[in-house]
């Protein structure tokens, strides 16, 4: 029984990780489809200037989210995540970190960009949050492509 429990535990964790990855992939795909839809809808806007501004705003949010996520991961998030795993910090601190990244992006957007986003996406905060989550997922996927030491066979 003692030898079965670690195997079952590892199997359950592997299955949970696979399901979480599948859910995240679905979320990223949905966000990409939404971005494509938003770009298509922005092309329908009557005013050429507003359309260009909306496209620029969408690109700016995407760029700012990518940079903010990479910077946060490099400076704070990785260490905080390890502290959460070790029990020294709680999940709420990670969530607060994500909220601060979203707030930073919104604060750095020009008012014209915010208005253009409101006209094209509606809920600017939700769009920024989804974009940040997509960038976090993409960063994790790139990191997951590196071969972890636990999968390297040694004798």
Distances in Å between the Cα of 110 and the Cα atoms of 45, 106, 119 are: 20, 9, 15
Residue extents of the structural domains in the chain: 4-146
Alpha-helical segments (H) within 44-153 = 48-72, 78-86, 91-108, 111-121, 124-144
Query: Could you tell me the pTM of the whole model?
Result: 0.61
| Residue 2 DSSP code | T
pLDDT in tens, 37-51: 887 776 666 667 777
pLDDT in tens, 90-136: 777 777 878 888 999 999 998 989 998 898 888 999 999 999 988 88
| Mean pLDDT, the chain, integer | 79
Strand, helix or coil for residue 110: coil
pLDDT in tens, 32-87: 888 888 877 766 666 677 778 888 999 999 999 988 888 887 877 677 777 777 77
């Amino acid at each position: 029984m003692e030898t079965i429990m670690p195997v079952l535990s590892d199997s359950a964790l592997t299955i949970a990780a696979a399901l979480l990855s599948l859910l995240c992939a679905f979320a990223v795909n949905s966000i990409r489809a939404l971005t494509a839809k938003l770009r298509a809808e922005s092309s329908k806007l009557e005013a050429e200037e507003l359309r260009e501004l909306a496209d620029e705003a969408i690109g700016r949010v995407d760029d700012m989210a990518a940079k903010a996520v990479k910077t946060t991961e490099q400076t704070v998030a990785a260490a905080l995540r390890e502290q959460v795993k070790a029990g020294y910090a709680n999940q709420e601190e990670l969530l607060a970190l994500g909220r601060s990244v979203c707030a930073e992006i919104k604060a750095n957007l020009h008012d014209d960009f915010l208005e253009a986003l409101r006209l094209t996406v509606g809920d600017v905060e939700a769009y920024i949050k989804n974009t940040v989550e997509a960038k976090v997922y993409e960063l994790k996927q790139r990191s997951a492509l590196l071969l972890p030491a636990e999968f390297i066979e040694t004798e």
